[in-house]
Amino acid sequence: MEEFLHRFRVSQFVRFLFLLWHNLMKTTAVKNDESNMNLVKLVDLYHEEGACRLHLAEVRWPDGVKCTRCGSGDRVKQLPGIAKWHCGYCRYKFTATSGTIFNDTHLPLWKWFMALYLMLESRKGVSANQLKRTLGISYKTAWYLCHRIRNAMQDGNAALLKGIVEVDETYVGGKTRGMGRGYRGNKAIAMGVIQRGGEVRLQAVKRGDRETLHKFIHSKTADECPAIYTDENPTYNGIADANTVHETVNHSAEEWVRGDIHTNSVESVWSLLKRSIIGAYHKVSMKHLDAYLGELEHRFNNRNNEFLFRDTLLKLVNAEKLTFCELTKAA
């Protein structure tokens, strides 16, 4: 009898060690899989609500869970269920989604994760109609979902650009019957400035006059910029100062590159924008143009970020709520 009990205890201890090792390996694998997210990993890791809520908690509180009301983390106790806690200080019960844009959603979190992944991985963007078909939701839900994600992508505290920068503007809008090719009365203006080998800043502006364009450039670039390269548009004249040289290329004379002087980098961003509108969105409301530019800017600036999905999910967790009334109110 004693020998039997001894063998039983040994087998239980071995089983405990195996389960401990298995859980550690599983946790390590999940953390390693956060880099370079792809569709197979996404479905494998976050195909059900519980896994999504646990991942939200890990992203939101990497240093330990803190109360969403008082901010304390000392007396937070986990409750039965998935990602639920109780604060001993203010006696508030909260979950991983409390106080976030996920809190009042009727959409499963795995559909949020899927929509976010598709928007990040589609270089030319993904339309609300496509998400409607892919996720099996209504068009209204898909459209609202896209705009909430775009709103979270906006970076209001982006750093000023340094080094050599390229500046260009483009006009967004369709053709008008009976008007000449150069008619721009129905078009919106998008401004872009990009640091060579670095990030881009995009913004919709109401006018293309000198004051507006110069104000945009100064608001996005630091004083240390040694050179600003543009096309021959005369509204850019006078942007140079004692610390900055202004050089141009004459596109109307088919001069695209002169030595190191060109605007090819910023024009490649406009190419992505135009292909997005033609191939994915088909039509972009002028009211929401800044939101689409913000989405493109976020994707472009994080093109080499292997943790793009995780970092953007953190933006969603910390984003302010965008109500449907606010989104659809008159401009």
How far apart CA 245 and CA 207 sit, in angstroms, is 25
Distances (CA, A) of 29 to 20, 176, 306: 14, 55, 16
Alpha helices, H only, the chain: 2-32, 39-45, 49-60, 109-121, 128-135, 139-153, 210-220, 264-276, 289-301, 308-318, 324-328
Domain 165-284: which topology? Answer: Nucleotidyltransferase; domain 5 (3.30.420)
| 51-65 average pLDDT score | 94
Domain ranges of the chain: 1-32, 165-284
Is 84 strand, coil or helix? strand
Residue type, 27: T
Residue 14 has pLDDT above 50, yes or no: no
3-state secondary structure of 155: coil
pLDDT higher for 32 or 319?
319
Question: Which SS3 state, helix, strand or coil, does residue 46 take?
Answer: coil
Q: Copy the structure tokens of residue 250.
A: 């004459």
For every residue of 7-39, DSSP letters joined together read HHHHHHHHHHHHHHHHHHHHHHHHHHTTSS--H
Please write the tens of the pLDDT for every residue from 101-156. Answer: 999 889 999 999 999 999 999 988 999 999 999 999 999 999 999 999 999 999 87
What's the confidence (pLDDT) of residue 93?
94
